[in-house]
Amino acid sequence: MQNVQIIENMLKLQQKLNDETNGIGWKEGYTKEGKLISWRRCIYMECAELIDSFAWKHWKNISEATNWENVRIEIVDIWHFILSLLLENKKQDFHLFATEIASVSVFQDFCKEEDKPSENQSEIYGILNDIELIIHKCSGFDLDLGELLSVYFTLAIKCGLNLNSLYQIYIGKNVLNAFRQDHGYKNGTYIKNWNGKEDNEILNEILKTEIDYEKIYNHLEEEYKKAIPCKF
């Protein structure tokens, strides 16, 4: 699959998820229930969660190893909201839009083979600075989407992802987000912890052997039934 096609597929999947979750008119800034949408706030709040994946606290667990699997999930969570922000600001010519994204600086480096992330403290501090730069770009009055994408791709590379691994995890997380919505996430009845494991952990295990959208969904359904039998 070509790089532009990968981006195009993710844009289409995000559009579909947003339409189903928030209603067709979500680009006007409100959900179908009348709830205000702020994709920028979503991005910097996810960035805060990503920061907590690292041993940044100088007073607690200072030698704790980074959970890179969780970091990868958080990076993809941020990508969901960046895609939503992009879609909110652009027309629906997905191929042209994907081509524009692929022309952003750093994207070609992002398409190369992924490197294993480093536990070196200076490298970790560099990652934290990049995360905070995304927060800064999303919390000010001016927003340059090209700059935001460049910083995001740089961050993803440092965290051991490339376009292909982002796509694989994105597919899985997109399925999980749809699954959550189908099982009461919005009204608060969804149960996120399945027999001592978060649903993100279950998803990671499924993604080791599966990439097909429907099969991932079916696997999640099976695991959820085993963990939450009273809901079925």
Predicted confidence (pLDDT) per residue in 16-73, tens digit: 999 999 999 999 999 999 999 999 999 999 999 999 999 999 999 888 889 898 899 9
Residue with the two structure tokens 């001592």: 196
Could you tell me if residue 50 is left (phi over 0), alpha (psi between -120 and 50 degrees) or otherwise beta?
alpha
**Residue 130: C-alpha distances to residues 46, 89, 155, 163, 208 (Å):** 14, 23, 6, 18, 28
Domains of the chain: 3-168 (1.10.4010.10)
Give long-range contacts, CB 8 A cutoff, 24+ apart: 168-171. 168/207, 168/211, 169/72, 169/73, 169/75, 169/76, 169/207, 170/10, 170/13, 170/76, 170/79, 170/80, 171/13, 171/211, 171/213, 171/216
- Whether pLDDT at 79 is above 60: yes
In whole numbers, what is the pLDDT of the chain averaged over residues? 92
The per-residue pLDDT for range 108-162, each reduced to its tens digit, is 999 999 989 988 999 999 999 999 999 999 987 788 999 999 999 999 999 999 9
The per-residue pLDDT for range 149-197, each reduced to its tens digit, is 999 999 999 999 999 999 999 999 999 999 999 999 989 999 999 989 9
Q: What is the predicted pLDDT for the residue at 63? A: 84
